[in-house]
Amino acid sequence: MQSVDQAIDAGRVGWVDAAKGICIIFVVMMHATLGVGIAMGGQGWLHTVVEFARPFRMPDFFLISGLFLGLVIDRPWMRYLDRKVVHFAYFYVLWLTIQFAFKAPGMAMEDGVAGTIQHYLISFVEPFGTLWFIYILPIFFLATRLVKSLPVVLVFAAAAALEILPIETGWMLADEFASRYVYFFAGYAFAANIFRIAAWLKARPLAALAIFAIWAPINGWLVFTHTPPHLMHLVTAELGETGATNGLSELPFISLVLGLAGALAVVAVAALIAERPWSRLLSWLGAHSIVIYLAFFLPMAISRAVLMRTGLDIGTVSALVTVAGIAGPVVLYGLIQWTGYGRFLFERPDWAIIDRPQRAKETVIAAE
């Protein structure tokens, strides 16, 4: 079996950034579209796209996040903790505080100062808003390090069982771990196979297009076909997503299969377009996906408040808010690189590095 190292040496990783770019666009689109829908009291044409991407949007993000873990999982514990735990903890605390700085006045008017402080402290146990992805990644890294000596089939089967079971504890961290870890572990455990699949699809574009043409309508049919009433008790809506279709795609086993199949579909698309000149912007967005993920909340909120007053339809407003949510962090990152001020927003400073023998600064991009 080809190793991940061999895949990298063979130059077959260009599709990874493209896949990340696709994922981050879908993630920002989801938050922008659902937020606009709630604020304007309805749904628009972009809601259809958001629903179509529901089965694979986050599964693919987690699968890609685990792809290169095999290269570093045997590092000394201090270095591993520094790169895979402290790194993300720094950005979680920083951007949690930034988000609260903007939201605290409104929260204080509703819940008082004490209630706002309580919300802030609870966010260290219950992931806050869009930052839950940053919160749970270190937990996935730790869990995988602890189980790496166990048989892959056993761990994958256990992780799949967690996704299949209707686990609803009410604690977001536990529920998201149960429903997402299988995809992260699959990215780690089957990385070599995924690289081989991407290379095979890249060399056979017609076959890749044929597979995509088969997958897309099946995914759409399962998403938009409502679950029969006698099976509704088996459906668990994705956390944070209102207006869900409660389609067949959310049923046990089907959700797992669609998550994995959709993740591979994104890999297929990324493998086909990664080296096209017009895909460079998409790849750049993927390479800087965490920068966008951390900072999109503010331009998204501002643009939504402005665009809602234009009289445009919900779908168009959602699309423009999505563009603003992506462009805002890009502009901010560019200004930081140009001026040299504010690097701490996306780059971990020396004092936050615990692996002292390696004192070189790490940017958020390098750790993805």
- Residue 7: its pLDDT value, please? 46
- Residue 50: its pLDDT value, please? 95
Residue 154 domain-assigned (yes or no): yes
Q: For residue 308, what pLDDT band results from cuts at 50, 70 and 90?
A: very high
Residue 125 domain-assigned (yes or no): yes
Q: What is the pLDDT of residues 162-217, one digit of tens each?
A: 999 988 888 889 999 999 999 999 999 999 999 999 999 988 899 889 999 999 99
CA-wise closest residue to 365 among 36, 17, 118, 69: 17
Q: For residue 250, what pLDDT band results from cuts at 50, 70 and 90?
A: confident
Q: What is the pLDDT of residues 97-119, one digit of tens each?
A: 999 988 888 888 888 888 888 88
Q: State how many domains the chain has.
A: 1
Q: Residue 59: which domain range?
A: 4-211+252-363
- Residue 230: its pLDDT value, please? 60
- Residue 14: its pLDDT value, please? 77
Taking each continuous run of H as one helix and of E as one strand, the counts in the chain are: 16, 2
Q: For residue 279, what pLDDT band results from cuts at 50, 70 and 90?
A: confident
- Residue 364: its pLDDT value, please? 45
Residue 227 domain-assigned (yes or no): no
DSSP at 86: I
**Mean pLDDT across 273-298:** 90
Return mean pLDDT, the chain.
Answer: 87
Contact residues for 302 (Cβ-Cβ < 8 A; gap 6+): 324
Q: What is the pLDDT of residues 114-155, one digit of tens each?
A: 888 888 999 999 888 889 999 999 999 999 999 999 999 999
Residue 310 domain-assigned (yes or no): yes
Residue 216 domain-assigned (yes or no): no
CA-wise closest residue to 55 among 216, 187, 288: 216
Contact residues for 124 (Cβ-Cβ < 8 A; gap 6+): none
Q: What is the pLDDT of residues 5-41, one digit of tens each?
A: 544 444 446 799 999 999 999 999 999 999 999 999 9
Residue 244 domain-assigned (yes or no): no
Sign for the CA dihedral angle at 8, 13, 17, 19 comes to negative
Residue 224 domain-assigned (yes or no): no
For the cut 90, the answer to whether the pLDDT of residue 60 exceeds it is: yes
Count other Cβ atoms within 10 Å, centred on residue 345. 18
Which tokens sit at 100? Answer: 């609260």
Contact 217, 154 (CB under 8 A): no
Which tokens sit at 123? Answer: 């966010």
**Mean pLDDT across 326-343:** 95
For the cut 50, the answer to whether the pLDDT of residue 363 exceeds it is: no
Q: What is the pLDDT of residues 211-240, one digit of tens each?
A: 999 999 999 999 999 877 666 666 655 444
The span from the CA of 160 to the CA of 87, in Å, is: 28
The span from the CA of 260 to the CA of 149, in Å, is: 24
Q: For residue 366, what pLDDT band results from cuts at 50, 70 and 90?
A: very low
Residue 168 domain-assigned (yes or no): yes
Three-class SS of 280-300? HHHHHHHHCHHHHHHHCHHHH
Count other Cβ atoms within 10 Å, centred on residue 310. 10
Backbone φ and ψ for 359, nearest 5 degrees, come out as -95, -5
- Residue 1: its pLDDT value, please? 36
Q: What is the percent of the chain with per-residue pLDDT over 90, rounded to a whole number?
A: 68
